[in-house]
């Protein structure tokens, strides 16, 4: 459920008419709903209660400071994959004790900065990373709290580019070698083993791969405890999928996921951490764009819009589907016709949807791409020298620009021409 609905024939974000925001900030722009973000976070909290738990929002899915502040104030922890994300979480007021640091390529500088600033745990992904972290921590006279990310070798059966838990993927250490690597970790002077971590992929629409991974994790926890390790935390990663179409797909809800977690892992006496990104932010955002032209080609009709693949890359990168809604509600029974919705960039990949059935939308009218709150603005670029689009947060009947559109002057001002040219 989300808070982007038609009211009086106009698409609203909560109580704010999206056309009002478009008039104020121009198009394209991202708009997020505070109520939806809050609701999704709360659903996870309720789903995991009464197990001790911390929901570590995956910052990479939408890292705007206002979004982080909203979730942090609700009590969320944060899952970061770079020191830049760490600094964002801290700037949003999240204490280090609620931040976990994931990622296969943490540098020594990043490790040092996180240890200095305070960190809940490092999710370590390889032997060499383990050695490096121990050295950094030792040089600072501290012990770094760690989990090892184990790769359970299950196929998340999701998109190739976001499947991460198979043997051939670059993430984590193989579960078959986990006991041996934990034994080495326990001997390293700069580390303190506190738990186990995994993350098998993103946009999972079925609980079965999670369950088979968690069953393997439960066995591993028992074995590690027998080996003498103290395992207090289980980080289950993120990855629960969201509905990208209103019509028919219905991925499991947080409540189903929580019930499965409790059934499979509830008796291990561990604090549960999860790292949802998409399920919290995905359906909490839309990208609003204006139709520049309708173009009739020989075989098909195009809607050329003022947003492009640099603003929302998911369709080009993953073949992702985003539902599209005109800001003005089409009359009931309005005829639908197939159109291609494309951006202005000179690449055929700059296509948001092909042969999508839409009611007639004239040039100058606006449409919204739904489910654009996760992996939208964060993956955008200024390709074709198109300034980053602004981000807006709505709460109830008010809205605020939480990242303004840079001026052309600002965009150009970031480059410099050496004085020898």
- By CB under 6 A, name the binding residues for ligand PLP: 58, 60-61, 79, 102, 199, 202-203, 237-239, 275-279, 374
Q: d(Cα 13, Cα 4) in Å, to the nearest integer? A: 5
Could you give the 3-state DSSP secondary structure of residue 324?
A: strand
**Shortest distance, CB of residue 46 to ligand PLP, whole angstroms?**
18
**Shortest distance, CB of residue 168 to ligand PLP, whole angstroms?**
17
Closer to ligand PLP by CB, 58 or 148: give it. Answer: 58
Closer to ligand PLP by CB, 16 or 100: give it. Answer: 100
Closer to ligand PLP by CB, 28 or 237: give it. Answer: 237
Q: d(Cα 171, Cα 159) in Å, to the nearest integer? A: 16
Query: Which one from 31, 56, 270, 346 is the annotated catalytic residue?
Result: 346
Contact status, residue 59 vs residue 81, Cβ threshold 8 Å = yes
**Shortest distance, CB of residue 164 to ligand PLP, whole angstroms?**
7
**Is 270 one of the catalytic residues?**
no
Closer to ligand PLP by CB, 27 or 283: give it. Answer: 283
What are the DSSP calls for 234-248, one per residue? EE----B---S-SSS
Name the phi and psi angles at 11, rounded to 5.
-75, 125
Element (H, E) at 6: strand 4-7
**Shortest distance, CB of residue 166 to ligand PLP, whole angstroms?**
14
Closer to ligand PLP by CB, 188 or 236: give it. Answer: 236
Closer to ligand PLP by CB, 58 or 402: give it. Answer: 58
Is residue 151 classed exposed, middle or buried when 0-12, 13-18 and 19+ CB atoms within 10 A define those classes? buried
Is residue 319 classed exposed, middle or buried when 0-12, 13-18 and 19+ CB atoms within 10 A define those classes? exposed
**Shortest distance, CB of residue 240 to ligand PLP, whole angstroms?**
6
What are the DSSP calls for 128-172, one per residue? HHHHHHHHHHHHTT--EEEEEEEE------S-GGGB--STTSSSS
Helices (H), 197-311: 208-226, 254-265, 278-281
Contact status, residue 31 vs residue 288, Cβ threshold 8 Å = yes
**Shortest distance, CB of residue 284 to ligand PLP, whole angstroms?**
12
- Reference 350, options 327, 325, 381; nearest CA is 381
The residues annotated as belonging to the active site are 346
């Amino acid at each position: 459920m989300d808070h982007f609905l038609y009211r009086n024939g106009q698409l609203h974000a909560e109580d704010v008419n999206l056309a009002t925001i478009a008039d104020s900030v121009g198009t394209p722009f991202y708009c997020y709903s505070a109520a939806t973000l809050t609701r999704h976070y709360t659903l996870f909290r309720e789903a995991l209660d009464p197990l001790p738990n911390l929901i570590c929002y995956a910052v990479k899915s939408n890292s705007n400071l206002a979004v982080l502040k909203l979730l942090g104030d609700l009590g969320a922890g944060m899952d970061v994959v770079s020191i830049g994300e760490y600094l964002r979480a801290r700037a949003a007021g999240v204490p280090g004790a609620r931040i976990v640091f994931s990622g296969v390529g943490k540098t020594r500088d990043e490790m040092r900065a996180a240890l200095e600033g305070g960190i809940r745990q490092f999710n370590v992904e390889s032997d060499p990373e383990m050695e490096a972290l121990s050295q950094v921590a030792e040089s600072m006279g501290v012990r770094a709290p760690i989990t090892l990310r184990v790769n359970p070798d299950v196929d998340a059966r999701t998109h190739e580019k976001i499947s991460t838990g198979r043997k051939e993927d670059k993430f984590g250490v193989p579960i078959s070698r986990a006991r041996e690597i934990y034994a080495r970790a326990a001997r390293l002077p700069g580390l303190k083993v506190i738990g186990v971590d995994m993350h098998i992929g993103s946009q999972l629409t079925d609980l079965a791969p999670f369950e088979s991974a968690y069953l393997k994790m439960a066995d591993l926890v028992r074995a590690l405890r027998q080996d003498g390790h103290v395992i207090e935390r289980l980080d289950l990663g993120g990855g629960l999928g969201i509905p990208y179409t209103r019509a028919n797909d219905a991925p499991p809800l947080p409540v189903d996921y929580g019930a499965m977690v409790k059934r499979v892992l509830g008796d291990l006496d561990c604090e549960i951490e999860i790292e949802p990104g998409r399920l919290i932010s995905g359906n909490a955002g839309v990208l609003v764009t204006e139709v520049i032209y309708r173009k009739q080609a020989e075989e098909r009709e195009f809607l050329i819009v003022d947003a492009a693949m640099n603003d929302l890359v998911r369709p080009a990168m993953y073949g992702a589907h985003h539902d599209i809604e005109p800001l003005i509600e089409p009359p009931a029974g309005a005829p639908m016709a197939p159109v291609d919705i494309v951006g202005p960039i000179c690449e055929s990949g700059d296509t948001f949807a092909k042969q999508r059935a839409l009611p007639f939308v004239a040039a100058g009218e606006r449409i919204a791409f739904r489910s654009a709150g996760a992996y939208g603005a964060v993956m955008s670029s200024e390709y074709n020298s198109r300034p980053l689009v602004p981000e807006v947060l709505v709460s109830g009947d008010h809205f605020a620009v939480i990242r303004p559109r840079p001026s052309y002057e600002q965009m150009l001002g970031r480059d410099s021409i050496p004085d020898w040219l």
